[in-house]
Amino acid sequence: MKILFLDIDGVVNCEKTMQRHRGAIGIDPYMAFLVGNMVQELDLKVVLSSSWRHWDEGVEEINNQVIPIFDKTGREPYIKEEEEAVPKIYTQRGREIKKWLDAHPEVEKYAILDDDTDMLPEQLPNFFKTSWKTGVTPEIIEKVKNHFSEPS
């Protein structure tokens, strides 16, 4: 099974996205087309790693406008060791993706499309960074396609 871990903000929308969903930034049709077309062409399963996964209407919007979601990552909070008296609880997308992958050993290959960089070092060869300024581009899509065509 081949998996695409998909973020939404900064991937299928960007600072110039005009579409809105309940007052929030929505999904850019062109960027949604780029991702959806690639997913279908490569026969990928999409695992939603975006904060949109916590919002039922957001997941429905993605299912309708981008591509049907196969699954979602869970939350994996952790406490950073700090000098402060009250420790802060954090989440890290890379830890959430690792937990999902550990529970799914059938995954042959995966890619991560995200504008954040909080991935684990071992995930970096599978990470394709987008930008909040532009979202996903045809060039990034081509890099992901090439990644899946390389031997594992």
Give me the CATH number covering residue 44.
Answer: 3.40.50.1000
Say how far apart CA 97 and CA 117 lie, in whole Å: 13
Profile the chain (152 residues) by mean pLDDT over runs of 10 residues.
96 81 75 97 96 85 92 71 56 88 97 94 97 96 96 75
Q: What is the pLDDT of residue 72?
A: 94
Q: What range does the domain containing 145 cover?
A: 2-149
Burial, 66: exposed, middle or buried (Cβ in 10 Å; 0-12, 13-18, 19+)? buried
Q: Model pTM?
A: 0.86
* Domains in the chain, number: 1
pLDDT at 104: 97
